[in-house]
Chain A
Amino acid sequence: MIATEMSPQEIKSNKPYLDWGLSEKEYNYICEKLLKRLPNYTETGLFAVMWSEHCSYKKSKPVLREFPSQNERVLQGPGEGAGIVDIGDKQAVVFKAESHNHPSAIEPYEGAATGVGGIIRDIFSMGARPIAMLDSLHFGEIKQARTKYLINEVVAGIGGYGNCMGIPTVGGEMTFDDCYTGNPLVNAMCVGLMEQKDMQVGRAQGIGNAVMYVGAKTGRDGIHGATFASADFSDEKETQRSAVQVGDPFMEKLLMEACLELTNKHADWLVGIQDMGAAGLVSSSCEMASKAGSGLELVLDDVPQREPEMSAYEIMLSESQERMLLCIRAGFEQKVKKLFEDYGLEAVVIGRVVAGKQYLLKHNGQTVADIPVSSLTDDVLEEASQEQVPQRILQAQKKQQWIPQINNAAEVLTKLLQQPTIASKKMFTQTYDSQVRTNTVVGPGSDAAVLRVRGTKKALAMTTDGNGRFVYLDPKIGGKMAVIEAAANLIASGALPLAVTDCLNYGDPNDPAIYWELHQSVLGMAEACRTLDTPVISGNVSLYNESNGKAIYPTPMIGMVGLIRDLKHIIPSFVQHQGDLVYLVGQTKQDFAGSELQKMQLGEISGSLNEVNTTKITLRMKRLLTAMEKGLVASAHDLSEGGLAVALAETTFGTKYGIKGELSLSGAELFSETAGRFIVTVAPAKQKQFLAEMKDKVALIGKVSGESQLHLTYQDGQFNLDLEVVKGLWEDAIPCLMKSKD
């Protein structure tokens, strides 16, 4: 390979960097301003990956600054492997989400599996034990064989990795829409738990300290993965798709246990630890040096290699999985080696922290890179992007809003329950081990997953939410709704929302309309996060989610974690006792644009969204949480896709009860998707206290009945639905679609 590498002069004239995602402007800036010479082949490769959007956030950075990222609970904000939040008792919760959209579109099993593997490493690199996985998956409508294949393989990849690691996959979401057919979204979130004293950082400092490599050997897989994730798909460019990495969860399990022993028992040996994720060895090593302001020298001949004759370029850019980089205090190298040997793993010194601020790479006795560390991490040219309001938004404002005609609400509800986005996902979630480590109090299929914190009275609630339809129709309001929806899921479980991680999935940001969507939706999310006091402590940006020139809906995913102070306050999503009063919390408005009902009846979404008052909703949710903590609430369920009618049905599923209700709403309003609403059941004896706590804006709409019937009387009609029957339809809808031949 080395013999064929271009010389610096050839690079200048042949411009191979254009294919690696580096622009001519950036290349010239590197030559003229940063290095004051021409970079060689390896150096150019380093710049190309480190300056990719995936590593540098050069396009999204100006927008990401809008997010609040600190409050008194945040121990570690964005910039490390994952964010950390204080949960009391000297403990902390650690979490982050990451997208693996592009690899999953190509090789769905390994793409999803390595997405899970990568996010787990981010968590244990902070010194935390991963305790739960969640995901957020968006696919095309279940019609084509290719879509079914993608769904089956992504689900198998998530389960295959998480199950083997022994980390329960406890929750998540799955939606279906044509816009994701060519570019599915696979976002994974991992939550970890730690003692605050074990907190680690990804830093390499102290001249003479060792840089050690642990885990799997380096191969030629995934070279330029970060660059690949920063470009659009097109059928013609098929051959450019570099090899997707292959995961080995068993290796990662060993690596995790060994790293946790190191961080939790031998912190005095350790200076810093970081996962080798996107852009592998180059990003992990130069980020560790950059954060500490250190110089670094690596000898690439010492990097464990799986394949012969790898070039410096390949070694540095490989994205082989299950690898970690450590900075170890000089003198402790042998102890570290021994610790990893006990797990059957190799730990190798591949370099040292050196004086100065250069990033030096040696290979075959030659210096193959000698550039300032900061040139890779801090000097990236931020790109100002053009913004433009998309035509569809301007036009929608002029048009009249769609108001549905509902003649047979029971039939509409029955059909809605069978829409894939609403229907039961059990067929998939039951292939995930959701219980291993025996902390899962509430698993898949509820508003939020709940895990107890062993040895304490506390529990953690967690959820992932994203509804691209609303963001597509109005990025700012849709952004607010995504955050409100996540918070509502936590509140419904009895948890105080603590903080947020996100995956920002958008199309090509060079399109001014798409950049506008990104910017506006971040403004909306940031506003809701500030109101809720849930800072964004970690996250990831996935741009260029397009297939043959067509972008996905802008789909920010919100991952949120909440704290339940006492196990006694965990609130079930399902009705508990016959005779309990059913309350609707929050006002219902004419919110049909982007609703599941609109999609079902018109086959597409349109219209503009009504404003969402985050302050009012936050106050309402706080009151509800107080009522829950006072023991006044028997069950609670958040209203989302399909609105009140769907939520009423769902809240009875799996119980032997039904609901008899009387509402002052129209048949159409039963399906409105106004944000920030809940169905809450309350024992009659606690009614007075509950009402006093909630102040206003709750409506008594019925009672929990002893038979499995949903009996609703509303303004313009009434119906009686056998819940056993519709539950069966709700459960069978996706299995039927997955089995049908197209």
Chain B
Amino acid sequence: MKIAVVVFPGSNCDIDLYEALHTVCHADVAYVSHTQKSLAGFDAVMLPGGFSYGDYLRSGAIARFSNIMPAIIEFAQAGKFVFGTCNGFQILTEAGLLPGALKRNNGLKFICKTVELEVSNNQTAFTTQYQAGEHISLPIAHADGSYYADKATLEKLERNGQVVFRYAGENPNGSLNNIAGITNEQGNVLGMMPHPERAVEALLGNEDGLRLFKSILENGKIKEEAAL
């Protein structure tokens, strides 16, 4: 399974994703520049955190117009794995690959801390290594993480089990339904505000994010084997 980490101008968690996959999970991973137009040869694509295009105008709003986006949209529509964390999540909502939007945090400030999450759906390709309803801790680091969607969309998300992660302790940013991460209807695109890539090593005090990457790698392998 080959994974692309897309680098936009202003991405800054690209190295964190890359290292989590490469050094910790020993996965086959490569950086792909926003200027590229193709994701040929890749089985999964990941959009890192950061401040793409300075987050000017609105977080993720400019990145969605970059050269690589049509390829990512095509990739998602083909049912391949797409994962976005933090700014990556914001870009996925801006690009329409995930419903809803991420607003300024309720407290209006950037928050960097570790929060408690509930794994609300462990049946997605991204979460099979977690227990259903399990509580985990992951760091957040964002100013625009308050998830918003209209009532009908929220109901649909809940009904379909698209809410994958939920803030289980304090809701740090005012997200509706305590939503921290969602998938698309097909379940192959996941966006989440917390940073699992920051929680993959005991040295840094937290390994709760590791199973997310292991889930993707395992399910990618199953998919590959099925295709053969």
Contact = CB atoms under 8 A, between A and B. Distances in A.
A250 interface: yes
Interface residues of B, number: 31
Contacts of A253: 9-10, 12, 51, 54
Contacts of A164: 10, 12, 51, 54-55
A121 interface: no
A452 B55 CA distance: 29
A359 B205 CA distance: 55
A159 to B, nearest CB: 5
A438 B51 contact: no
Interface string B1-27: 000000001111101100110000000
A343 B111 CA distance: 29
B94 interface: no
Nearest to B111: A430
Contacts of B19: 438, 454
Interface string A421-462: 000000000111111111111000000000010100000000
A663 interface: no
A91 interface: no
Contacts, number: 81
B53 interface: yes
Interface string B104-119: 0000011111000000
Contacts of B201: 438
A248 B10 CA distance: 12
- Is chain B's binding surface mostly helix, strand, loop or mixed? mixed
Given A166-B50, A431-B110, A436 B203 contact: no
Nearest to B15: A437
Contacts of B197: 438
B88 interface: no
Contacts of A454: 19
Interface string B47-65: 0011101111000000000
A438 B54 contact: no
Given A431-B109, A432-B112, A433-B112, A166 B13 contact: yes
A254 interface: yes
Interface in B101-154: 109-113, 139, 141, 143
Contacts of A438: 15-16, 19-20, 197-198, 201, 204
A567 B49 CA distance: 27
A248 B54 CA distance: 8
A364 B195 CA distance: 54
A344 interface: yes
A104 B110 CA distance: 20
A439 B10 CA distance: 19
B203 A250 contact: no
Residue from A431, A441, A454 whose CB has the most chain B CB atoms within 10 Å: A431
Interface residues of A, number: 30
B204 A440 contact: yes
B54 A250 contact: yes
B110 A163 contact: yes
Contacts of A248: 54
B141 A435 contact: yes
A444 to B, nearest CB: 9
A165 interface: yes
Contacts of A343: 9
Residue from B13, B110, B195 whose CB has the most chain A CB atoms within 10 Å: B110
Contacts of B56: 250
Given A344-B9, A441-B203, A452-B203, A434 B51 contact: no
B113 A430 contact: yes
A22 to B, nearest CB: 39
Given A431-B111, A452-B203, A436 B12 contact: yes
A551 B53 CA distance: 42
Interface in A224-278: 248-251, 253-254
Contacts of B139: 435
B16 A249 contact: no
20 contacts: A163-B141, A164-B55, A249-B51, A250-B10, A250-B56, A253-B51, A430-B112, A431-B110, A431-B112, A434-B112, A435-B141, A435-B198, A436-B12, A436-B13, A438-B197, A438-B198, A438-B204, A441-B204, A454-B19, A567-B203
Interface of B: 9-13, 15-16, 19-20, 49-51, 53-56, 109-113, 139, 141, 143, 195, 197-198, 201, 203-205
Given A163-B110, A164-B12, 5 more contacts: A250-B53, A430-B112, A432-B112, A433-B141, A452-B203
